[in-house]
Amino acid sequence: MGPNPNEIFPNPKIPSLCFIKNVIKNPNIIVGEYTYYDDINGAENFESHVTHHYDFVGDKLIIGKFCAIAKGIEFIMNGANHRINSITTYPFNIMGNGWEKSAPSLTDLKLKGDTVVGNDVWIGQNVTVLPAVHIGDGAIIGANSVVAKDIPPYSVAVGNPCEVKRKRFDEDLIEYLLQIKWWDWNSEKIFKNMEALCSGDLTKIKNIID
């Protein structure tokens, strides 16, 4: 019925592949089952690829189930923002030594909210995701992209800035997939329907086996 979703390394033959839900310690990073990060240099260190993520800001990184994330990912969180409504953007306060008095309020930083990656999302190598972006279910993000705005479900997007190039499927099929939410099925139902999920014949998914 598939690998144990609670294993850190689900396949001993592929030590670069890690189910990252099982190595996350920060409560503001929430990852669904079976989502993996693939990095020969230490996939278990995924959390180090979430930068400028400060407790006092309180923003969350939320990643769904069954996502495939290639090496070199960087999620830049809201803590990277500088004050821009003043003469200088320089963060005097973080240098200490009396400069703390210039600390901006959170409202000065124009925080944008949580960063959300849907389910069944494939993110290619060396992708950077900027704060508060939402990437829809089933989307594909091409290698070396900089994702600065929301990406709709089941879109193929690439570039700097990342732009949607096409939809993966027609609107009817996309609506159907968003309704059935296969990623929420139990492992037995996924196993029974794996042929349809992995087939190039897109009509098979309309015949779900319970």
Give the residue numbers annotated as catalytic, written as ranges. 82
Ramachandran category for residue 8: left, alpha or beta (phi over 0 → left; psi -120 to 50 → alpha): alpha
Edge to edge, the sheet with strand 50-51 lists 50-51, 74-76, 128-129, 146-147
Tokens of 63: 């990643």
Cα angle value 183/189/191 (rounded, 5°): 90
Measured CA to CA, the distance from residue 168 to residue 148 in angstroms comes to: 20
Kind and range of the H or E run holding 129 = strand 128-129
Torsion of CA 11, 12, 18, 21, to 10 degrees: 70
DSSP category for residue 93: G
Q: Phi first, then psi: give them for residue 47, nearest 5 degrees.
A: -60, -25
Tokens of 129: 């995701």
Cα angle value 54/57/58 (rounded, 5°): 90
